[in-house]
C-alpha cells in the first residue's frame, strides 16, 4: 500500500518549541548569506540556554552570543563581509561571554560536517598540520596513514572529529510541504551537509509551493534537500533578512550598518535596537524594518 509523504509545515514557534537547552545546533548559510534569521531571532528570544552552536558565522552567532545563549561555539569565521568582524561576536570574545570556543580551518570545518554526515567519528585531512589550530585545540589528534607513499613513508594526517549536530537550521528559497527544498542563488553553502550531519533538520523558506510547482522552473540539481532529510518546513518570507537570499533579495546593507552600530556601541544603544527590532515576534520585526527604511528614505 502506497503512503503519501506527510505535511511537514510548521510555525516558527513550533520549531523553537521542539528544541531543548544544551543542544548542539548547526546553523546553515555562510557569514551574511542566506542565514535562517527568522529562526535565529526566535531562538534569541527563547528561554533556551547552554547551546553549542556550529556555524560559518554571521549575525546568527552575534545575536545568540549577545543573548548569552552559547556555551560552546564551533566556527571557521564570524563576519558580516562589509563589516569584517561581527561586532556582537567581537564583544563576546573580548569579554569571554562564550565559555568555550573552537576555531577551525574552513576545510577542517567542512570535513567535520562530512564525517558527521557519513556517521564516522573522524575523517583524515592535511589542513591544520603545522598550524595553531592544533596548538589551540590540543584535543584534536593526528593519525598515521596505514598506506605508505611510493617512498615508503606513512603520512601523518589530522583526524578531524565529526561535528555531530542534534539539530540543523537552514534557509532556502523554495520548498514543498513535504520537505523537498531548493536554492535558487549561486551557492548551496553546505546546507545539505548540515542537514546530513544532524539528527533533525528544520528548513525555513521564502515560499512553500506544491511539489509540481517546486520543479517547474527549478533545475533538478538545485533541489538541495530531500524530504527524507527534513523534519519541518517553515514559510518565512524575508526570513533571511538582513542577510542575502539571492535572487529573492540581497543583503540589507543599510540595516546591517544600523545593527553593527548598535552592536558596537553602548549597552544603551543595543537595548534601543533590541526594543525596536527584536523584542517582538517575526511579524513585528518585519514591520519595524519596513518602518526603518521608510524613515531613512524621507
Residues in the chain: 298
Task: State the cell numbers at 101.
Answer: 570556543
Whether residue 41 has pLDDT greater than 90: yes
Of 153, 220, 228, which Cα lies nearest the Cα of 195?
228
Percent share of the chain, pLDDT over 70 = 97
Measured distance CA(86)–CA(31) in Å, rounded = 9
Whether residue 1 has pLDDT greater than 60: no
Percent share of the chain, pLDDT over 90 = 93
Measured distance CA(223)–CA(285) in Å, rounded = 29
Q: Summarize the confidence of residues 79-106 as an average pLDDT.
A: 96
pLDDT range class, residue 221, cuts 50, 70, 90: low
Inter-residue contact 232 to 39 (CB < 8 Å): no
Whether residue 91 has pLDDT greater than 70: yes
Torsion of CA 198, 215, 9, 38, to 10 degrees: 70
pLDDT value for 2: 55
- pLDDT tens figures, 229-277: 999 999 999 999 999 999 999 999 999 999 999 999 999 999 999 999 9
Task: State the cell numbers at 188.
Answer: 548551496
Angle at 229 between CA 6 and CA 22, to 5 degrees: 105
pTM given for the model: 0.95
pLDDT range class, residue 176, cuts 50, 70, 90: very high
pLDDT range class, residue 5, cuts 50, 70, 90: confident
More confident position, 252 or 220: 252
Of 103, 90, 94, 88, which Cα lies nearest the Cα of 56?
103
- 248 φ/ψ angles, rounded to the nearest 5 degrees: -65, -40
Measured distance CA(211)–CA(218) in Å, rounded = 11
- 97 φ/ψ angles, rounded to the nearest 5 degrees: -75, -20
* CATH numbers and ranges of domains, the chain: 12-105+163-297 (3.40.1080.10), 122-161 (no CATH)
Whether residue 220 has pLDDT greater than 70: no
- pLDDT tens figures, 44-89: 999 999 999 999 999 999 999 999 999 999 999 999 999 999 999 9
Average pLDDT, the chain: 95
Whether residue 219 has pLDDT greater than 80: no
DSSP string, the chain: ---PPP--B--HHHHHHT--TT-EEEE-SBTTBS--HHHHHHHHTSS--SEEEEEEESHHHHHHHHTT-EEEEEEEEE--SSSSS-HHHHHHHHHT-SSEEEE--HHHHHHHHHHHHTT-SEEEESTTTTSHHHHH-TTS-EEE-SS--TTS---EEEEEEP--EEEEEEEEEEE-TTS-EE--SS--TTHHHHHHHEEEEEEEEEEE--HHHHHHSS-GGGEEE-GGG-SEEEE-TTTTTTSBBTTTB---HHHHHHHHHHHTS-HHHHHHHIIIIISS-HHHHHHHHHHHHHHHH-
Inter-residue contact 17 to 43 (CB < 8 Å): no
Of 39, 38, 80, which Cα lies nearest the Cα of 62?
80
Amino acid at each position: 500500500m502506497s503512503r503519501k509523504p506527510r505535511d511537514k509545515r510548521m510555525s516558527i514557534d513550533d520549531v523553537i518549541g521542539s528544541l531543548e537547552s544544551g543542544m548542539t545546533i548547526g546553523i546553515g548559510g555562510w557569514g551574511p548569506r542566506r542565514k535562517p534569521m527568522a529562526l535565529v531571532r526566535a531562538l534569541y528570544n527563547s528561554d533556551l540556554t547552554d547551546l553549542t552552536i556550529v556555524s560559518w558565522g554571521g549575525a546568527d552567532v552575534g545575536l545568540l552570543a549577545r543573548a548569552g545563549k552559547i556555551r560552546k561555539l564551533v566556527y571557521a569565521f564570524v563576519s558580516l563581509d562589509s563589516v569584517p568582524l561581527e561586532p556582537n561576536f567581537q564583544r563576546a570574545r573580548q569579554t569571554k561571554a562564550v565559555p568555550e570556543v573552537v576555531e577551525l580551518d574552513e576545510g577542517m570545518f567542512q570535513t567535520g560536517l562530512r564525517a558527521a554526515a557519513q556517521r564516522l567519528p573522524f575523517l583524515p585531512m592535511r589542513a591544520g598540520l603545522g598550524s595553531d589550530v592544533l596548538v589551540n585545540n590540543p584535543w584534536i589528534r593526528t593519525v598515521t596513514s596505514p598506506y605508505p607513499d611510493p617512498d615508503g613513508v606513512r603520512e601523518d594526517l589530522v583526524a578531524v572529529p565529526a561535528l555531530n549536530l542534534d539539530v540543523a537550521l537552514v534557509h532556502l528559497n523554495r520548498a514543498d510541504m513535504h520537505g523537498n527544498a531548493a536554492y535558487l542563488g549561486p551557492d548551496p553553502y553546505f546546507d545539505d551537509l548540515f542537514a546530513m550531519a544532524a539528527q533533525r533538520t528544520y528548513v525555513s523558506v521564502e515560499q512553500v509551493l506544491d511539489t509540481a510547482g517546486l520543479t517547474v522552473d527549478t533545475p533538478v540539481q538545485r533541489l538541495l534537500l530531500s524530504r527524507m532529510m527534513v523534519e519541518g518546513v517553515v514559510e518565512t518570507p524575508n526570513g533571511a533578512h538582513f542577510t542575502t537570499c539571492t535572487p529573492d533579495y540581497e543583503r540589507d546593507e543599510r540595516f546591517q550598518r544600523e545593527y553593527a552600530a548598535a552592536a558596537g556601541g553602548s549597552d544603551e544603544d543595543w537595548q534601543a535596537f533590541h526594543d525596536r527590532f527584536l523584542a517582538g515576534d517575526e511579524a513585528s520585526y518585519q514591520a519595524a524594518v519596513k518602518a526603518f527604511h521608510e524613515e531613512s528614505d524621507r
